[in-house]
Structures are given as C-alpha cells and as structure tokens.
Amino acid sequence: MVTKIKQKISFCTVCMNRLSFLKETLPKNIEDNLDYGNLEFIVLNYNSADEIDEWINTEMSQYIELGVLKYIKTTEPKYFLRSHSKNVVSKQASGNIICNVDADNFIGKGFAEFINESFCKDQNSYLFVDKNTEKDCCGRICLTKEDFITLRGYDEEMKGYGFEDFDLRNRLELLGRKVVLIPKETFLNAITHSDTERLQNEYNNIGIKHVYIKYKTPAISELVYCFDNNEVYTGNIIDNFVLKSESIENLFPINKTFKFRHSLLNDKWEYGEFISLDKIIFKEGNLSISNNPDYIEISDKVFCSSLIMFFSQISNRIKMEKNLTNKRITVNEESYGDAHLE
C-alpha cells in the first residue's frame, strides 16, 4: 500500500494597500485549509501604507504562534511591482510547492489537498487557471520550488500590469511541465473590484497626468501619455478588429488572424520630454499639442482609465511574446527578488 505524501505547500501573498481585501480572504483561506497540516501562508507587506502591521500582529497572531502564518515586510518600494514582489515573497517559501494567491482571492476549502494530489500524480506539472477564467484569479499559479528557482522566478523586466503570470506559465511549458487546470467553481473566487483599484499603486497610474488621442484612421489612433516628471510616451494603437474587418478569415472569432484586439505599431513607444503643450521633444522631431484640434485630451475617467491600463499592460505583453518567441526559460540574469526584509 502506497502512503500519500503530504508535500509542504507555501501560499504566498503580497499586500500593498489591500488590507480591506486581506481581512476577508486570509483568515478564511487559512481556516479552509488548516486541516491539511503541512502548509504555510506567507504575507509580504510591500511597503503598505495602511494598518496591516497592527492587524496581522493582533488579529492574526494565533496563526503566527502556530507557525502557520509568516509575516514579512519591506519599506523600500515606492510603487507596486508585481513580478518583483512575487519573487520576494516566493523566495521566502520553505515548502517544496509554491502557490501565488492574490490578496483578493479566496482559495476554497480543500485547495491544499487538491494541490497535493495533483503533484503526487505528476511532479512535472503546474497548476493554473483556464484562460477564460475571470481575470481576478489569473494570478493563481502553483509550481514546485525547484522549478521556480530554475526559471529564476517572474520576469522583473515586466514592470506594468499583467501577463507576468502567463509568461511564467509559458516558461514552465518550455521546461516541459504540463498544466493542471484549477476548477473554477470550487477554488477560484475573488473580491471584485475596478481597474482603477488594480492600478492604484502603480507608477503608470500615479505618474500619468494627461492622455491625448489623435484619430488617424478608423483602425489607428495615436496616443500621447504625459507624466508628471515631464516624460512623454507616444505610439500608434491598432484596433485589429477594425483593421482586419474586411478579411474573410476574421468573419468569425474562432478564425481571427490576431491574438489581441489592440496592439502597438512596431511594438514600440517613442520616448520624449514634455516642456509645454507647445513643445514636446522627441528624437524624431518636436510635437505641439496646444491649439491643435487633432489632439484631444481624454477627460472621461473611465476611458482614461482604460487607456492607462493599456499602457500598463502592453509593455508586459510584448515582453511575454518576445520571451516565448525566443524560447526563453530563465530570466533575471543578475538577480531577482532582492529586498531588505524586516
């Protein structure tokens, strides 16, 4: 008779000004899986400005004393960096299986058992969500600590929003690992929130002060992002649905010849310096927005938020695609997950 081994599982969560979420999810996640036994929950305070220290040390002290909860913090980051923060907390894991759990996620009763059974069946696997799963749970990924070290974690060149998890999945596939899908109804639930909240602590969201748009064709628009440090980025955004609407291959969604609706022309932003609305300096020449009716400043908050989200995501997406094209398995050549921890 073969005895099933209970592998140690480390649930890793990063929190930066998300205490309201953590108060709901962390106690529930611990209680729903405490009977598994061989596990730990690690919470990284990523320079959070809320009262997370006080809450953890009072309301969650029993779990710290039990050795179930490990609380670490760093006061260094000014902005939220997903790849870096996930690397920091994952490097502290003592389990041979690491599971990233976003602060807004409920993992569900018995999730630890499900993880263990999956890896006992096949150690050369990893757990991830179905691509059609709601985006609030797309950060959930479980892999062995050995594979995490081999891959050198999440790609820290990805400093915007999203795709760092899909990039990690791609590199696990290149490593020869096979995916086990996490059941949505049982283990994938999250606190819903807006894109504005998602970007709340990011440099792009905090730094971008003005967004202008110039409609060039029905399918192509120029965007100009002005930061409060006088940096400017401009690029041509392509709506692939419109651009390829006359193509017979794109009449039906399942046959479309593009992966994403929107893309950045030549996968490149042009960088410049904002002097005034009359003078924005770029390498290829200056731009004047003042009194130019072709450039419209976006005042609608929802539309502006969507354009900031695009700016934050597109660089990560391009990096993910480049890693996949180059069949790159390892990243962060010099170091990763470095931080002074308290």
The token duo for 293 is 């009716």
pLDDT of residue 149: 98
pLDDT of residue 150: 98
- Provide the CA 16 distance to its chain's centre, in angstroms: 13
pLDDT of residue 245: 63
Domain boundary among 191, 212, 247: 191
Domain boundary among 191, 216, 231: 191
> Is there a single domain that holds both residue 224 and residue 184?
no
Collapsing DSSP to helix, strand or coil, 15 comes out as strand
Contact 137, 129 (CB under 8 A): yes
Answer whether residue 248 is part of any domain. yes
Alpha carbons 5 and 294: distance in angstroms, whole number: 66
pLDDT of residue 96: 96
pLDDT of residue 244: 66
- Provide the CA 168 distance to its chain's centre, in angstroms: 11
> Is there a single domain that holds both residue 185 and residue 317?
no
pLDDT of residue 249: 58
pLDDT of residue 3: 46
Count of domains in the chain?
2
Answer whether residue 86 is part of any domain. yes
> Is there a single domain that holds both residue 171 and residue 231?
no
> Is there a single domain that holds both residue 167 and residue 44?
yes
Answer whether residue 13 is part of any domain. yes
Residue 211 β-bridge partners: 225
pLDDT of residue 95: 98
β-pairing, 296-297 vs 208-215, is antiparallel
Who contacts 299 (Cβ-Cβ below 8 Å, separation ≥6)? none
Domain boundary among 135, 163, 191: 191
Alpha carbons 131 and 170: distance in angstroms, whole number: 13
Who contacts 48 (Cβ-Cβ below 8 Å, separation ≥6)? 15, 16, 17, 18, 19, 73
What is the DSSP code (8-state) at residue 136? G
pLDDT of residue 283: 85
The range of the structural domain enclosing residue 46 comes to 9-191
Predicted TM-score of the model (pTM):
0.91
> Is there a single domain that holds both residue 307 and residue 244?
yes
pLDDT of residue 1: 35
> Is there a single domain that holds both residue 125 and residue 29?
yes
The segments of the chain whose pLDDT lies below 50 read 1-3
Answer whether residue 305 is part of any domain. yes
> Is there a single domain that holds both residue 170 and residue 204?
no
Collapsing DSSP to helix, strand or coil, 326 comes out as coil
Smallest CA-to-CA distance from 86 within 154, 167, 136 is with 154
